[in-house]
Amino acid sequence: MKRLNHRNILYGIASLTLVSCAVPKVTELKKAQELPEEIIKADKNKSPDEFQQINLKAYFTDPNLLELFDKVVQANPDFQIAQQRVEIANSFLQRSKMDLLPSLEVGVEASGNRYGKYTMEGVGNYDTNLSPNITENQKINRDFTPNYWVGAR
């Protein structure tokens, strides 16, 4: 019984191998149609860095087909989402190109510090103010220390 099963499996594999081996059929190559001159002119003027939409009127001349394309664009949310994603990608590309340009930031900043009595800075400021080497103009304000900045980066 086991010998019969092995023999049948072997015959099955051999027949599948023979059936699956075949010479591929030769297909006829169709001659490609020439593109309209409007498209060829548009491709010559196009920069490789720019994204341009396809002009359907240059490819298709049937008014009914063009009307159907317009309806599809208006009614198809997936196509509209894809268009928005392309616009987002273009804006990210534009932003990344702008990041490479030099920039100048001008700013004004005002802040202040109020040191606590029992903090490291507060005690240090208090001790500094008691030093005999410090004049009245050099003493640190105990209530509020302002910090001003005006400049360009």
Are 115 and 131 in contact by the 8 Å Cβ rule? The answer is no
Chain segment 84-133, per-residue pLDDT in tens: 999 999 999 988 888 778 877 889 999 988 777 777 676 677 777 778 88
Chain segment 52-67, per-residue pLDDT in tens: 677 777 778 889 998 9
Interaxial angle between packed helices 77-99 and 63-75, expressed in degrees from 0 to 180 and rounded to the nearest 10 = 80
Contacts of 149 by beta carbon, 8 Å cutoff, 6+ apart = 107, 108, 109, 110
Q: Quote the pTM value.
A: 0.28
Are 116 and 122 in contact by the 8 Å Cβ rule? The answer is yes
State residue 88's pLDDT score: 93
Chain segment 26-60, per-residue pLDDT in tens: 777 778 778 777 767 766 666 666 666 777 777 78
Q: Which one has a higher pLDDT value, 153 or 48?
A: 153
State residue 47's pLDDT score: 65
State residue 50's pLDDT score: 65
